[in-house]
Structure 1
Amino acid sequence: MKSSSPSTGRSEQYLCNEPLAQFDYSDPMPKPLHRARVTAVFHDIPGVTSIDFAPGLAPRSHVDDHVKILLPPPGAPYRSPVPIPAPGSPAPLLRTYTRRRYDPATGAWGIDVLDLGHGGPGSAWAGSVRPGDEVTVRGPGGHWQMPEHPGTVWMVGDAVAMPAISNALEALPAGSRAVVLLEGGGRSYPLPERPEARIVDIPVTSGGSALVDAVRRLRTPDQPWWAFAHGQAEMIRPLRRHLRIERGLARERLLLSAYWIAGRDAEGWRVMKPEFNRAMEAESGD
């Protein structure tokens, strides 16, 4: 099974990733683009392709640290790595992945691409990528740093949240506690073992309703607590309302991210997500 540190045995021949110009794909906070070279590809975890890259990005500083991989859409007049600026149209596809591995000594990093059976562009890229290939990457980005003394952290998510939840478990300080509610269980994905963490497997249901119900049944901690939840939009929206209004959890102690929505691809979801987030925050009193 693959460890949490990227393979660096061949990194010396891949030098630093080549920084590229800023490029805005409807992102209110544009991030730098880089050309990243693949150093290793592993299939040690069933249903997961682990891909490691040479150094070149900023250090990992957030639990939800992530990058966006730019991929050529069907019929594009260019191939990967996507040139910047990309000639002609349509625009490149963006697929977001948590940086699951980061080696502070070398700067090498890696992602895990889960095969969710959708057969989308991200899965196709992960299935064909080989060491030595290059890809254009935007980022890294991130929003949440683990507090020094968080007390208890609720970590809630569906399958796509497993890498981010794994990062959160690794960052959990000694003496703190975690309650992990994971839709579909950890499957074969190797969640870090922490004696302070209680991991509960939740069955997969339409809209993540069982996951929301499981959160509703949790007892509010007596000590300070935080909530870290990622997954499909139909689950995140009622969960945010419950935590903010019914539990009274302060907004600054809550990090929720709707990764996807049923019936839309990543591009379709990216278009509708800003309005979704505004509506979700409004109904939560923010």
Structure 2
Amino acid sequence: MKNNLTTEQSSDYNDLEKMSTNELLTHINTEDKTVPYVIEKVIPDLEKLIDEIYQKMKKGGRLFYIGAGTSGRLGVLDASECPPTYGVPDNWVIGLIAGGDIALRKAVENAEDDTTLAWKNLQQYNINDKDVLIGLAASGTTPYVIGGVKKAKENNIVTGCITCNKNSPLSKEVDYPIELIVGPEFVTGSTRMKAGTAQKLALNMISTTVMIKLGRVKGNKMVDMQLSNKKLVSRGIRMVMDELDINEQKANELLQKYKNVRKILEVYKNNGTE
């Protein structure tokens, strides 16, 4: 059976099992190098989607990701990293995967083939027209994702997608399609490779840019990050030292008192001193 999906086309490499470790690594790396150039081509499309997300979130809206398999896991990962990195509430960016959280570790049979499940999942969060929904599917054909974005559009919710096939069924259903055409995978059909890398880069760009535009970064520092471990506390101390030109002991004392880098900087800005 012929498959026209780029993500399912046969690898440009053959007899992989006969290659040496160095050959395998070199060829994988050669393919991976092409991914940033694919991202570069869609920056104008990303810009349009990101500006729409920013406008919605500035007014209190939220960002949702839905996906299955690798795509779903990447969405959940991106969403889960926003609160500790930018100090935002857990419900600002929400990632949902077909089959629920158990699917993060183990495949859930047939969950991605259910066209009604995504909307049921989204309704648990009272998704509405203030929000934005991005469907993630390397193939652009995942029923779970297509069903979710179609229902969202029926309810006047802004939709986008990130896929790795041109003119996919998913792209045709959304307001802001992002198509990352990375070509055949090194291992035929293994979209956790180049396609997954491309999706991860795009998600990084979306959430990072939106958070910066929402004021969650000062200069180039994550001043709202949660100080949840020793490494992050040390990073916070360095930020305070650099911004206020004070020694480590004083910076540590301030961080222990205020528990937040932004709060310290605001106190000094308003008072000129603590």
Would you say same fold, with TM above 0.5? Answer: no
Q: Which has the higher strand share?
A: 1
TM-score by length of 2: 0.37
Asked which structure has the greater CA Rg, the reply is: 2
Q: Which has the higher helix share?
A: 2
